[in-house]
Amino acid sequence: MSDFQKNKVLVLNFFEELDMAHENGINQVLGKYTNEDYLFRGMHPFYELYGSDAVADVFWKPLRRAITPIQRRQDIFIAGVNDVDSDTEWVCSMGHLMGLFDNDWLGIKANRKMVFLRYAEFNRIAKGRIAETALFCDIISVIKQAGLSPLPLQTGAEFITPGPLTHDGLLFDKKDPKETQKTMELVNQMCKDLTTSDMESSIDELKKTWKEDMIWFGPSGIGATYTTGRYQEQHQGPFKEGLDNLKFHGHVCRIAEDKFAGWFGWPNLTMKPSGDFMGLPKTEKTVEMRVVDIYRRDGEKLAENWIFIDLLYFLMQQGADVLGRTEKILRH
């Protein structure tokens, strides 16, 4: 069994025990599977947490009280060596945490109905344990599923995001390293093309690395788009028009396995909002954007892209406290 396979088994066992644990057992599970200097990176309002007890108490216990019983529905599961440092080993999982929204969470009023919390999770493995986690989840989608509309109209479509068209994203077994290399080279070329063109690509440039019928599954608040033309119209155009001084800061982790790849940054980008992106006014502040991208390659080009953006943090930097405002309104 390769180290990657051992890493996968470790994370799968962790998921199983964590998902089955009662509230009073969550600290024990996290302590069993993580290192003493465990680092957790989460979206607003969680940010960086240190140590398994802090992660259990601040993130997992409140979530598990709110959504019960919780069910992990994975769509993509991959592992590999970090292309950023050619050394660290990571495991990536993407899907939904589903359950009944029975108790309030983060000021969002429970509606006692099914809820799907979309997530992407990266775990760095060191010395047989989880040393670091980055967990991005779409909290804005939960607000909307609870019947609220916290943001202006979005440019893309809103729905429960599906997994890969090919239904083959759960890579529990070892895969051909040649296919992995092809995927890594393709996403790196796509990233290079995008970052050297000031985050804007013509249709012809997009078609070099993307299939024409690409799907871009954006986060709630921005939405999803289909085909290169609609991607330009419904996301890339508004993104470029509403944001100035875009600077790319690289990734913390970038891995691939077989036809899938994923990365995240902390932050990936900085920018200065110039007006109207997500309905917000112009500001002179430079703000950060933390992003996860998960990709599926089809042949020689990319076919699907799942995106997670910490929009609550992005908006908070501009003075828009979405969670705070939601809680305040619902309190009256």
- 106-147 tens-digit pLDDT: 999 999 999 999 999 999 999 999 999 999 999 999 999 999
- Rounded distance between C-alpha atoms, residue 11 and residue 30, angstroms: 11
Among 121, 145, 169, residue at a domain's last position: 145
182 shares a domain with 141: no
Mean pLDDT, to the nearest integer, of 154-174? 96
184 shares a domain with 241: yes
CATH number at residue 287: 3.10.450.50
131 shares a domain with 181: no
What proportion of the chain, given as a percentage, has pLDDT over 90? 84
211 shares a domain with 97: no
In the predicted structure, residue 182 carries a pLDDT above the cut 80: yes
Residue 253 burial class via C-beta count within 10 angstroms: exposed 0-12, middle 13-18, buried 19 and up = buried
DSSP labels, 207-232: HHHEEEEEEEEPPTTT-BEESHHHHI
In the predicted structure, residue 14 carries a pLDDT above the cut 70: yes
Domains in the chain: how many in total? 2
Contact (CB, 8 A) for 306 and 293: yes
127 shares a domain with 82: yes
Predicted TM-score (pTM) of this structure: 0.96
32 shares a domain with 107: yes
Among 145, 169, 190, residue at a domain's last position: 145
Query: Domain span at residue 248?
Result: 177-323
In the predicted structure, residue 236 carries a pLDDT above the cut 90: no
Q: If pLDDT is split at 50, 70 and 90, which confidence band does 184 have?
A: very high
Whether 172 maps to a domain, the answer reads no
pLDDT at residue 205, rounded to an integer: 83
In the predicted structure, residue 176 carries a pLDDT above the cut 90: yes
pLDDT at residue 1, rounded to an integer: 44
Compute the Cα dihedral for 207, 211, 212, 217 and give only its sign: negative
Residue 6, SS3 per DSSP:
helix
Mean pLDDT, the chain, whole residue set: 94
Whether 153 maps to a domain, the answer reads no
Q: If pLDDT is split at 50, 70 and 90, which confidence band does 201 have?
A: low
pLDDT at residue 185, rounded to an integer: 98
Whether 200 maps to a domain, the answer reads yes
pLDDT at residue 280, rounded to an integer: 82
141 shares a domain with 260: no
**Dihedral angle, C-alpha 30, 36, 42, 45, nearest 10 °:** 90
Among 128, 145, 162, residue at a domain's last position: 145
- Rounded distance between C-alpha atoms, residue 119 and residue 74, angstroms: 9
Give the model confidence (pLDDT) of 31-60 as tens digits.
999 999 999 999 999 999 999 999 999 999
The larger pLDDT score, comparing residue 181 to residue 238, is at 181
pLDDT at residue 332, rounded to an integer: 65
pLDDT at residue 200, rounded to an integer: 60
126 shares a domain with 10: yes
Residue 122 burial class via C-beta count within 10 angstroms: exposed 0-12, middle 13-18, buried 19 and up = buried
218 shares a domain with 109: no
- Rounded distance between C-alpha atoms, residue 123 and residue 136, angstroms: 12
In the predicted structure, residue 2 carries a pLDDT above the cut 90: no
In the predicted structure, residue 178 carries a pLDDT above the cut 50: yes
123 shares a domain with 28: yes
99 shares a domain with 35: yes
Whether 158 maps to a domain, the answer reads no
Whether 168 maps to a domain, the answer reads no
- Rounded distance between C-alpha atoms, residue 196 and residue 180, angstroms: 24
- Rounded distance between C-alpha atoms, residue 43 and residue 118, angstroms: 12
